[in-house]
Amino acid sequence: MKVQIDSGRCQGHGRCYDLAPGLFGEDDEGYGQVLGEGIVPQDQERTARLAVSNCPEHAIEAL
């Protein structure tokens, strides 16, 4: 699994990095960003899906 954030949709609510700090962080302006290449370790897939489903702007996609 891999995750990505649509920066045009992200409004900086921060739920992604609150729920999955090992996968997401925030940029200098407070918007969510994927850490590293966005590849989700198998043991963090549930957490990644939780972040995807909790984004109010639907800016996170799991591939």
User: Domains in the chain, please, with CATH?
Assistant: 3-62 (3.30.70.20)
pLDDT digits (tens, 9 = 90+) for 2-32: 999 999 999 999 999 999 999 999 999 999 9
pLDDT digits (tens, 9 = 90+) for 32-62: 999 999 999 999 999 999 999 999 999 999 9
Distance CA(5)–CA(13), nearest Å, equals 13
Model pLDDT, residue 32: 98
Model pLDDT, residue 3: 99
In the structure encoding, which two tokens stand for residue 17, read together?
């990095």
Model pLDDT, residue 29: 96
> What is the model's pTM?
0.92
Q: Is 47 exposed, middle or buried (0-12, 13-18, 19+ CB in 10 A)?
A: middle
Model pLDDT, residue 40: 98
